[in-house]
Chain A
């Protein structure tokens, strides 16, 4: 972005700037929080990122973000059934946190409270000039949940956080401070109806020796704009698995920024992107191996149908001190329609020499030999294709060890295939 020449703001940028003016008085927090909000809106005024900004190369936000809905407090959103029956559920309905639920070992506080007393100020602000999601969210964030999980807690059931909208603008945060030696699974649902514009930022700190699985299930309607950002810092010997499923949204960008902070830590990313209709979905990951002896595996599977455009950008930075890093990334895409598009940019940035890093990426259609194999056994083409596509995606889901989760996610998968497959 060129700071010297003021730019002519697009209608979407102007709508955001105006909304900030109108909304300001209602936003929680003052003092430091307010300063952070002001700084963030300045970044929006300087212009949303274009394809000339490298990290937004395939998602020209200035061009793609055309409609910005107004805030609408009158809308009513209803919670959805939890992914796993009986899970404790913490809701944010149309941008407002619901009632806290008692969960042993977990303290849940609405983010509005933390913004109000100013304690949340340090977490606000954009991380760098290209962090449009961080800026947008910092300017407008009004609520969400902060989970504090005590040392040694073992959660029997996943904790589910739900962000449900019926339209308008919603800007939320889900933060988690996870102590040492914790075993936990968190399910994050992003869903709703209408033409909402959602920004949702997660900040997750994982303590030493913990084993944590976090699932983001994004099933926005095809009219919604969804900007997600997931930040995580992994402690010593901790094992963190992030599972991201995108199965909706008109314009979606999900950023994942992970830092292995403690030696011996391990990061696993499993991604499933089911793209349909005339939509645009961008998953961008930046992983920093910042200390020696850490490992990571990322597997992303994409299915593109209709006129959908998909993007996966994955960058692995191996710092100079991060010797013995073992990082592997794979991005596989099935392009099923002639009008679909998929672009991928897997990057390696390596400054340490004793490492084993690699990435692989493929884009292809269904293997005709596989199809023939099934059809030769009397299975009709449509069913055979369905089986192969499902197998392609299910492979990633099945890696989650929890059977109940696998079943629940496969049900979401079947739902998508029934509608769009």
Chain B
């Protein structure tokens, strides 16, 4: 039996047409000419006042990219991308670098307001604490507020608009704790020694087709450095938005947690509704040294295209964390609801002994969306552990694939993995696929993998309804339970937003 009519109707409500972030902001922009060439890369590098070594790095990547072929192994279909038909650089004008929010184009601020981005940081967790407005935080007055920062639920935000980081908040406050949080362009100028040391050390320049393209043309992104022994006092967050027509967004994020450091980082994305497809090819690199912990959470809500599958963002992302130090931990949590095509495998290289990697994912696909996502856990060190929890929900005409790899190197004694991937199908025009790769080269490795695919079970529904709960609520409860394991892993500040989003996408609509 197909899913009950209510569920179908409710899922239809999340219909891609109802994408609520589909507005476009009219602001003056500064663009590079269309297309890609060494000159464009020089243009981007010059625009960002980059040192020569960075330009060389980009050009090297570009030359390697020219020799590479687009990968075809993922279960996604799309017309061939014309890489010469994309703007590789678009920045809101007013590029003098805003010192405070007052200097930011008010039009831009309104955009973020519409997105619900807590740039002004006051209303997060309303009722818990009224945080100081951002303007004053960037003042010296901030000292007084500083003591409270450690207890408050405040979030520092780096906002990236098209190709450029527009504003980063709470910078000074973070600096007091020794944490560097700025745009990557700024980091290249201000902290070249750190960037040189770590950039490309997790995702090598020619790692894959899109990562190489990103290395050549990345325009901005966030940089986080948490020094030895520091627990980052607040959640760090980046909001990405593609606004300009025909632009690609290529951001680059680099997060380094030194010995014993801890940081939790959140990322959110939106794009306006457009008929043509927009390209997003990001690279994220995480480095955790001894005893460090990095939590990286994503709520991805790029425009998924309309009901006929027209438009939408192509999301080709390379995310990789390196547990370089002993006893380090990297956790990826993702809620994927947007994008026409998602091609994304946040991975962990478990290099340090006793290091741990986690991957928690909810992937919701509807309309004509195609998701091919999963993770790689590469066990290299001794006593390394990894856990993968993946929940896929496919509806409409979408294709939802989990693709994951777990491998234990010959020297990775006592490597331990647990993988659980469950898929829920709503309607019979969608597909759910599971493609796990398990490779054990060590007899002490212990790998477990389980996967299930089903619709909402009649037994479960009956059980809940028998207790007097109406059908639609019963389904909501079951779907809620289905994704709960992952939602729980999100930082509290973000869980609220993610729940809101899944509310739009599935859960709320079922209830």
A residues near B (Cβ < 8 Å) are 54, 57-58, 320, 323, 333, 335-365
Chain B positions 434-459 with a Cβ under 8 Å from a chain A Cβ:
434-455
Q: Is the CB of B446 within 8 A of A364?
A: yes
Which residue from A347, A352, A362 sits with its C-beta under 8 Å from B434? A347
Chain A to chain B contacts (Cβ below 8 Å), 12 pairs: A335-B442, A336-B443, A339-B410, A345-B435, A346-B451, A348-B433, A350-B431, A354-B1, A354-B2, A357-B452, A359-B449, A365-B443
Q: Is the CB of B450 within 8 A of A353?
A: no
Residues of B within 8 A of A349 (CB): 431, 433
Q: Is the CB of A340 within 8 A of B443?
A: yes
Residues of A within 8 A of B449 (CB): 346, 359-362
| Known contacts A337-B443, A345-B437; A350 and B453 CB within 8 A of each other | yes
CA distance A420 to B442 in the complex (A): 19
For A336, the closest partner residue in chain B by CB is B443
Which residue from A347, A353, A357 sits with its C-beta under 8 Å from B426? A353
B residues near A (Cβ < 8 Å) are 1-3, 73, 410, 423, 425-455
Which residue from B2, B429, B430, B440 sits with its C-beta under 8 Å from A333? B440
> What's the minimum C-beta distance from A319 to chain B, rounded to whole angstroms?
10
CA distance A269 to B164 in the complex (A): 56
Q: Is the CB of B438 within 8 A of A357?
A: no
Q: Is the CB of A353 within 8 A of B455?
A: yes
Give the tally of cross-chain contacts (CB within 8 A).
116
Residues of B within 8 A of A359 (CB): 434, 449-451
Q: Is the CB of A363 within 8 A of B446?
A: yes
Q: Is the CB of A347 within 8 A of B435?
A: yes
Kindly list 18 other residue pairs between chains A and B, CB separation below 8 angstroms, not including A338-B410, A345-B437, A360-B450.
A320-B429, A335-B443, A343-B437, A344-B438, A345-B436, A346-B434, A348-B432, A348-B433, A350-B432, A353-B427, A353-B428, A353-B430, A353-B455, A356-B452, A360-B451, A361-B436, A361-B450, A363-B438
> What's the minimum C-beta distance from A274 to chain B, rounded to whole angstroms?
16
Residues of B within 8 A of A339 (CB): 410
CA distance A339 to B409 in the complex (A): 11
Which residue from B429, B432, B440 sits with its C-beta under 8 Å from A363? B440
| Known contacts A350-B425, A361-B449; A355 and B454 CB within 8 A of each other | yes
Residues of A within 8 A of B430 (CB): 351, 353
Residues of B within 8 A of A347 (CB): 433-436
Residues of B within 8 A of A354 (CB): 1-2, 428, 455
CA distance A353 to B433 in the complex (A): 12
Residues of B within 8 A of A344 (CB): 437-438
Residues of A within 8 A of B433 (CB): 347-350
Q: Is the CB of A320 within 8 A of B428?
A: yes
CA distance A306 to B429 in the complex (A): 47
For A343, the closest partner residue in chain B by CB is B439
For A346, the closest partner residue in chain B by CB is B436
For B439, the closest partner residue in chain A by CB is A343
Residues of A within 8 A of B429 (CB): 320
For B450, the closest partner residue in chain A by CB is A360
CA distance A349 to B425 in the complex (A): 12
CA distance A337 to B442 in the complex (A): 8
For B417, the closest partner residue in chain A by CB is A363
CA distance A230 to B410 in the complex (A): 33
Residues of A within 8 A of B446 (CB): 362-365
Pick the most buried of A336, A337, A348, A352: most chain B CB atoms within 10 A of its CB: A348
Which residue from B3, B432, B444, B455 sits with its C-beta under 8 Å from A365? B444
CA distance A345 to B428 in the complex (A): 25
Q: Is the CB of A364 within 8 A of B447?
A: yes
Q: Is the CB of A348 within 8 A of B434?
A: yes
Which residue from A58, A335, A361 sits with its C-beta under 8 Å from B445? A335
Which residue from B425, B438, B443, B454 sits with its C-beta under 8 Å from A345? B438
For B401, the closest partner residue in chain A by CB is A349
For A327, the closest partner residue in chain B by CB is B453
CA distance A409 to B285 in the complex (A): 53
| Known contacts A348-B453, A353-B426, A358-B453; A363 and B447 CB within 8 A of each other | yes
Pick the most buried of B433, B434, B437, B453: most chain A CB atoms within 10 A of its CB: B453
CA distance A26 to B439 in the complex (A): 44
Residues of A within 8 A of B423 (CB): 348, 350
Q: Is the CB of A362 within 8 A of B447?
A: yes
CA distance A335 to B291 in the complex (A): 31
Residues of A within 8 A of B434 (CB): 346-348, 359
Residues of B within 8 A of A345 (CB): 435-438
CA distance A48 to B370 in the complex (A): 31
> What's the minimum C-beta distance from A1 to chain B, rounded to whole angstroms?
12
CA distance A345 to B448 in the complex (A): 12
CA distance A353 to B1 in the complex (A): 8
| Known contacts A347-B434, A362-B448; A356 and B428 CB within 8 A of each other | no
Which residue from A54, A343, A355 sits with its C-beta under 8 Å from B438? A343
Residues of B within 8 A of A336 (CB): 443
CA distance A339 to B444 in the complex (A): 11
CA distance A361 to B421 in the complex (A): 12
Residues of A within 8 A of B443 (CB): 335-338, 340, 365
For B395, the closest partner residue in chain A by CB is A353
For B413, the closest partner residue in chain A by CB is A338
For B402, the closest partner residue in chain A by CB is A348
For B457, the closest partner residue in chain A by CB is A356
> What's the minimum C-beta distance from B305 to chain A, rounded to whole angstroms?
21
Closest 6 CB pairs of A and B: A353-B425, A358-B452, A363-B440, A361-B449, A343-B439, A348-B434
Residues of B within 8 A of A343 (CB): 437-440
Which residue from A58, A338, A351 sits with its C-beta under 8 Å from B442? A338
For A364, the closest partner residue in chain B by CB is B446
CA distance A344 to B451 in the complex (A): 14
CA distance A323 to B1 in the complex (A): 8
Residues of A within 8 A of B440 (CB): 333, 335, 341-343, 363
CA distance A108 to B435 in the complex (A): 41
Residues of B within 8 A of A352 (CB): 425, 428
Pick the most buried of A57, A335, A337: most chain B CB atoms within 10 A of its CB: A335
Residues of A within 8 A of B427 (CB): 353
CA distance A418 to B31 in the complex (A): 74
CA distance A18 to B445 in the complex (A): 45
Q: Is the CB of B450 within 8 A of A358?
A: yes
For A52, the closest partner residue in chain B by CB is B73
> What's the minimum C-beta distance from A191 to chain B, rounded to whole angstroms?
29
Residues of B within 8 A of A363 (CB): 438, 440, 445-447
CA distance A355 to B434 in the complex (A): 15
Q: Is the CB of B3 within 8 A of A353?
A: yes
Residues of A within 8 A of B445 (CB): 335, 363-364
Q: Is the CB of A357 within 8 A of B454?
A: yes
CA distance A339 to B411 in the complex (A): 10
Residues of A within 8 A of B450 (CB): 358-361
CA distance A357 to B440 in the complex (A): 25
> What's the minimum C-beta distance from A365 to chain B, rounded to whole angstroms?
5
Residues of A within 8 A of B431 (CB): 349-351
Pick the most buried of A353, A357, A360: most chain B CB atoms within 10 A of its CB: A353
> What's the minimum C-beta distance from A2 to chain B, rounded to whole angstroms?
10
CA distance A54 to B72 in the complex (A): 11
Q: Is the CB of A357 within 8 A of B435?
A: no
For A338, the closest partner residue in chain B by CB is B443
CA distance A342 to B410 in the complex (A): 11
> What's the minimum C-beta distance from B3 to chain A, rounded to whole angstroms?
6
> What's the minimum C-beta distance from A279 to chain B, rounded to whole angstroms?
15
Residues of A within 8 A of B432 (CB): 348, 350
For B451, the closest partner residue in chain A by CB is A359
> What's the minimum C-beta distance from A340 to chain B, rounded to whole angstroms?
7
CA distance A338 to B444 in the complex (A): 8
| Known contacts A320-B428, A350-B425, A357-B452; A341 and B439 CB within 8 A of each other | yes
CA distance A361 to B434 in the complex (A): 13
CA distance A355 to B430 in the complex (A): 13
CA distance A145 to B45 in the complex (A): 70
CA distance A360 to B431 in the complex (A): 20
For A323, the closest partner residue in chain B by CB is B428
CA distance A37 to B463 in the complex (A): 60
